[in-house]
């Protein structure tokens, strides 16, 4: 299946929300929207998804709108007074957003707890979580990883958005590459790598892992590009923070036409 038009449509909605709100955190949403699409469009109804890198909230809101979980009229309220779609996801309004996230390092513990609960209740449900590579610096991520291994949570499927950039620079230069597959393998995860912008390959990877009931929690390390699809944003740390000017928004629209045909 060719997902190019869908990828362009989702990116267009992300840009529209950020431009309308004059807000940042654009690059991180463009980095991980394809990963979220591979999960949220195809997971079973009873499965749970946690966006641990909550600063990529517009990617979450966009794909949840695509799946019917968020109405279109709500998207225009993003980051505005009285919104139900704040800059970081908030719980209680939408069933598909069960927890508030944004303070990094909490998503994997939450997802591991959900996976453990499903095991205790003997439910055949998957627990998904998407983390940033910078977030793997957090001690809580490692603590939860060890918990998942020791409890044999093979119904936990974690993704790392490995774009190589975090808030203060290149991930490698901050605390080293704590998203390296070999580190998670050494802990006891079953790990695969994938192109984080190939929805078909991502879907194929997690569905294959989900069938392997071998007592090992699963990890997909997704190679991505921050700002993917917009040339002036790609692999640039400043697009972790900056809002777009009118001219930049227009240029981004042209890039979507060229790269995704929308």
Q: What is the mean pLDDT of residues 12-20?
A: 97
pLDDT band at 102 (very low <50, low <70, confident <90, very high): confident
Check residue 173 and give its pLDDT.
87
pLDDT tens digits, residue range 119-129? 999 999 999 99
169-170 vs 165-166, strand pairing mode: antiparallel
Whole-number Å distance between alpha carbons of 43 and 37:
10
- DSSP state string for 105-167: T-HHHHHHHHHHHHHHTT----EEEEEETGGGGSHHHHHHHHHHHHTT-TTEEEEEEE-SEET
pLDDT at 249 over 90: yes
CATH number at residue 200: 3.40.50.970
What's the full length of the chain, in residues?
262
pLDDT band at 1 (very low <50, low <70, confident <90, very high): confident
Q: What total of structural domains would you count in the chain?
A: 1
Note the pTM of the prediction, 2 decimals: 0.97
- Structural domain range at position 69: 4-260
Write the DSSP symbol of residue 228. Answer: T
Check residue 231 and give its pLDDT.
98
Check residue 177 and give its pLDDT.
93
Whole-number Å distance between alpha carbons of 9 and 20:
16
Mean residue pLDDT of the chain comes to 96
Residue 68's φ and ψ, nearest 5 degrees, are 95, 5
Assess contact for 10 and 63: CB atoms under 8 A: yes
Assess contact for 145 and 184: CB atoms under 8 A: yes
Name the residue among 222, 162, 179 with its Cα closest to residue 35. 222
pLDDT tens digits, residue range 20-66? 999 999 999 999 999 999 999 999 999 999 999 999 999 999 999 99
pLDDT tens digits, residue range 153-201? 999 999 999 999 988 888 888 888 999 999 999 999 999 999 999 999 9
Spatial CB neighbours of 61, under 8 Å, sequence gap ≥ 6: 17, 70, 74, 75, 78, 85
| Number of H-type helices and E-type strands within the chain | 10, 7
Alpha helix stretches (DSSP H) within 151-245: 171-174, 181-187, 199-210
Q: What is the mean pLDDT of residues 78-97?
A: 96
């Amino acid at each position: 299946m060719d997902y190019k038009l869908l990828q362009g449509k989702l990116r267009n909605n992300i840009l529209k929300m950020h431009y309308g709100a004059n807000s940042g955190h654009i690059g991180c949403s463009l980095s991980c929207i394809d990963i979220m699409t591979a999960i949220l469009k195809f997971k079973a109804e009873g499965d749970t998804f946690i966006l641990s890198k909550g600063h990529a909230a517009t990617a979450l809101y966009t794909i949840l709108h695509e799946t019917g979980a968020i109405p279109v009229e709500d998207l225009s309220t993003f980051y505005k007074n009285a919104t139900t779609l704040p800059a970081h996801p908030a719980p209680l309004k939408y069933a598909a957003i069960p927890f508030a996230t944004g303070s990094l390092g909490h998503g994997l513990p939450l997802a591991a707890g959900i996976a453990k609960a499903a095991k205790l209740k003997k439910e055949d449900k998957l627990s998904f979580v998407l983390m940033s590579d910078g977030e793997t610096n957090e001690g809580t991520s490692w603590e939860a990883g060890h918990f998942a291994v020791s409890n044999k949570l093979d119904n936990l499927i974690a993704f790392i958005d490995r774009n190589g950039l975090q808030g203060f620079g290149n991930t490698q230069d901050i605390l080293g590459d704590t998203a390296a597959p070999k580190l998670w393998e050494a802990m006891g995860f079953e790990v695969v790598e994938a192109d984080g912008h190939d929805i078909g390959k991502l879907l194929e990877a997690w569905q294959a892992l989900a069938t392997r009931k071998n007592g090992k929690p699963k990890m997909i390390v997704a190679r991505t590009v921050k700002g993917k699809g917009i040339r002036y944003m790609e692999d640039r740390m400043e697009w972790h923070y900056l809002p777009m000017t009118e001219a930049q928004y227009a240029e981004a629209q042209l890039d979507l036409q060229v790269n995704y045909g929308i």
